[in-house]
């Protein structure tokens, strides 16, 4: 059974049960209230009349008599009769003169009894009370007193209530039929979504989207959520395809170069030093590529832990500066600004982040250019900046430079040994430390990469842990950094 039919069945059952329960309450409670009030009034009348009934004669010939003033019910709604054990009416109220019927023939019993009795077109509520005398140790019933009240309003109310309930039941039934008719149209968007989803699965076309009904309800939310999911799946699928293609290309290029140089050496019969250098460079490039791929694979699987220790970024900056200064001669690397800022994180990964940005800036800065590194504190954030005077990045490429294997100039990047994974790794390191990385660039003027990381509060830098980590290196490197800034 479909969800639609199950819902209709459940709602119909609940509604029908609730309607009948309410109908029973609405029908019986008012009627019972009317009868209760009538019974109380009849009991009061019977108590008054019963006290004045006169019993005459011995036990076997006892006769009843009711004072005329008690039988003088002039109202047209209350009646009274007294009958003996032979069924003869011995007294009646004045509004029953000429009427010889007993008010309730079935009510004569040894106990008080209430009955609803139909007399012609009228309904009477009759209370029958036995009249008795005491003969020694025995109580003998010698007659009955019956007091009745006309309930024409009760009958009218009963009929009106039944009509109202029937009308209500008809309206409820009509509403259920309306619900059965409307429900399929309400579930139509869900059926359309399911149909398109099946088509996407059969056709393996992730570019398609489920129809959005444009409604602000659960179906609209479901359609939009599915479209967002499909968009992400398509993005990941395309990224996977691009990754496979890029990895194949990146590995094929050095393998082709290695094979060509090996064939050349085999043909020449001697190990050519230049060819050996080329092979060595390509092997190192493949090693770096595989290392970066393994790192990103561990990142994606969540199996790459990060240490959380106090790290003095000024020391990390100086270590990177000292490392690149010894290797690079064509591009000048300087420290523009340096504050003492500490963060919680993984020292090795933060150093890797800074090395990636500096190495990337050096690669895209022509000879004679300048790469400057700066560290500052802005409120509760540490700001690491790497600025270069290189070629810059076109505005249309900036949104994609942190994607894996993306290169602004693919031919040039490959010639310089880049794999297109460095900035993706840098972005992950910044994000994993609770920060972010952004870039500003003007083509022909250079680019500035800014890394924002949560800084530790200054009071925390006096903790034992912070003092024991880098106490020695701090006292050694800060004078050197000041000297660098004066050059």
Provide the pLDDT confidence category of residue 72 given band limits of 50, 70 and 90: low
Whole-angstrom Cα distance, residue 284 to residue 280?
Answer: 6
Going by DSSP bridges, is the β-strand pair 370-378/332-338 parallel, antiparallel, or unpaired?
parallel
Nearest one of 356, 312, 320 to 453, comparing CA atoms: 312
Average pLDDT over residues 287-303: 74
pLDDT tens, position by position, 365-392: 888 899 999 999 988 899 999 999 988 8
Average pLDDT over residues 399-413: 70
pLDDT at residue number 125: 83
Distances (CA, A) of 382 to 326, 346, 377, 448: 27, 15, 5, 16
Other CB atoms within 10 A of residue 169 CB: 14
Is pLDDT of 33 > 60? yes
pLDDT at residue number 477: 36
pLDDT at residue number 354: 92
Whole-angstrom Cα distance, residue 126 to residue 145?
Answer: 10
Whole-angstrom Cα distance, residue 196 to residue 443?
Answer: 45
- Cβ neighbours of residue 430 under 8 Å, at least 6 residues apart? 353, 436, 437, 451, 452, 453
pLDDT tens, position by position, 36-48: 877 887 777 777 6
DSSP designation for 456: P
Other CB atoms within 10 A of residue 26 CB: 14
Report the length, in residues, of the chain.
Answer: 487
Least confident of 116-120, 198-202, 242-246, 385-389: 242-246
Whole-angstrom Cα distance, residue 389 to residue 372?
Answer: 9
> When comparing pLDDT for 353 and 228, which is higher?
353
Whole-angstrom Cα distance, residue 417 to residue 357?
Answer: 15
For the chain, the average pLDDT equals 75
CB–CB of 382/319 below 8 Å?
no
CB–CB of 384/450 below 8 Å?
yes
Nearest one of 115, 98, 99, 95 to 107, comparing CA atoms: 115
Name the helix (H) or strand (E) containing 372: strand 370-378
Q: Which residues of 360-391 are buried (b: 16+ CB within 10 A; e: fewer)?
A: bbbbbbeeebbbbbbbeeeeeebbbbbbbbbb
Least confident of 154-163, 165-174, 403-412, 462-471: 462-471
pLDDT tens, position by position, 216-274: 777 778 888 888 888 888 777 777 776 676 667 667 777 777 778 777 777 777 777 77
Name the helix (H) or strand (E) containing 140: strand 138-150
pLDDT at residue number 175: 73
Ramachandran quadrant class, 233 (left: phi over 0; alpha: psi -120 to 50; beta: rest): alpha
Query: Could you give the angle at the alpha carbon of 136 between the alpha carbons of 133 and 142, nearest 5°?
Result: 20
Whole-angstrom Cα distance, residue 117 to residue 106?
Answer: 9
Is pLDDT of 322 > 90? no
Whole-angstrom Cα distance, residue 258 to residue 278?
Answer: 8
Question: Which residue ranges form the domains of the chain, and what is each CATH number?
Answer: 3-158 (3.30.450), 218-301 (1.10.287.130), 309-486 (3.30.565.10)
Whole-angstrom Cα distance, residue 155 to residue 418?
Answer: 98
> When comparing pLDDT for 192 and 358, which is higher?
358
pLDDT at residue number 438: 92
Whole-angstrom Cα distance, residue 267 to residue 55?
Answer: 150
CB–CB of 65/56 below 8 Å?
yes
């Amino acid at each position: 059974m479909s969800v639609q039919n199950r819902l209709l069945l459940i709602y119909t059952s609940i509604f029908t049960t609730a309607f009948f329960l309410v109908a029973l309450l609405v029908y019986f409670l008012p009627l019972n209230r009317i009868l209760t009030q009538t019974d109380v009034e009849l009991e009061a009348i019977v108590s008054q009349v019963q006290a004045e009934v006169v019993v005459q004669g011995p036990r076997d010939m006892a006769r009843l008599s009711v004072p005329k003033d008690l039988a003088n019910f002039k109202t047209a709604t209350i009646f009274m009769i007294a009958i003996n054990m032979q069924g003869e009416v011995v007294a009646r109220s004045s509004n029953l003169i000429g009427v010889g019927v007993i008010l309730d023939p079935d009510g004569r019993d040894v106990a008080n009894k209430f009955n609803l009795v139909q007399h012609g077109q009228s309904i009477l509520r009759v209370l029958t009370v036995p009249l008795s005398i005491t003969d020694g140790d025995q109580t003998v019933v010698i007659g009955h007193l019956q007091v009745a009240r006309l309930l024409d309003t009760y009958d009218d109310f009963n009929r009106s209530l039944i009509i109202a309930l029937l009308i209500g039941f008809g309206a409820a039934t009509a509403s259920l039929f309306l619900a059965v008719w409307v429900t399929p149209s309400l579930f139509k968007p869900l059926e359309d979504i399911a149909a398109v989803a099946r088509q996407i699965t059969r056709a393996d076309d992730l570019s398609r989207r489920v129809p959005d009904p444009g409604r602000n309800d659960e179906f609209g939310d479901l359609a939009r959520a599915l479209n967002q999911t499909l968009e992400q799946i398509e993005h990941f699928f395309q990224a996977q395809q691009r990754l496979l293609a890029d990895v194949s290309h990146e590995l094929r290029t050095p393998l082709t170069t290695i094979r060509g140089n090996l064939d050349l050496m085999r043909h020449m019969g001697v190990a050519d030093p230049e060819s050996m250098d080329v092979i060595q460079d390509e092997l190192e490039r493949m090693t770096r590529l595989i290392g970066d791929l393994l790192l990103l694979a561990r990142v994606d699987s969540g199996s790459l832990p990060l240490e959380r220790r106090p790290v003095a970024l000024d020391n990390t900056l100086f270590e990177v500066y000292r490392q690149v200064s010894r290797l690079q001669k064509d591009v000048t690397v300087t420290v523009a600004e340096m504050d003492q800022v500490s963060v919680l994180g993984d020292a090795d990964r933060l150093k890797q982040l800074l090395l990636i940005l500096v190495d990337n800036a050096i690669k895209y800065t022509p000879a004679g250019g300048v790469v400057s590194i700066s560290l500052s504190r802005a409120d509760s954030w540490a700001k690491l900046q790497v600025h270069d005077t290189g070629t810059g990045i076109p505005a249309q490429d900036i949104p994609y430079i942190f994607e894996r294997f993306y290169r602004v100039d693919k031919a040039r990047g490959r010639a310089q040994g880049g794999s297109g994974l460095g900035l993706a790794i840098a972005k992950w390191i910044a994000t994993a430390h609770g920060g972010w990385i952004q870039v500003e660039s003007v083509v022909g003027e250079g680019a500035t990469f800014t890394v924002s990381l949560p800084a530790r509060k200054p009071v925390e830098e006096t903790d034992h842990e912070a003092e024991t980590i880098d106490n020695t290196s701090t006292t050694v490197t800060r004078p050197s950094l000041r000297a660098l800034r004066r050059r």
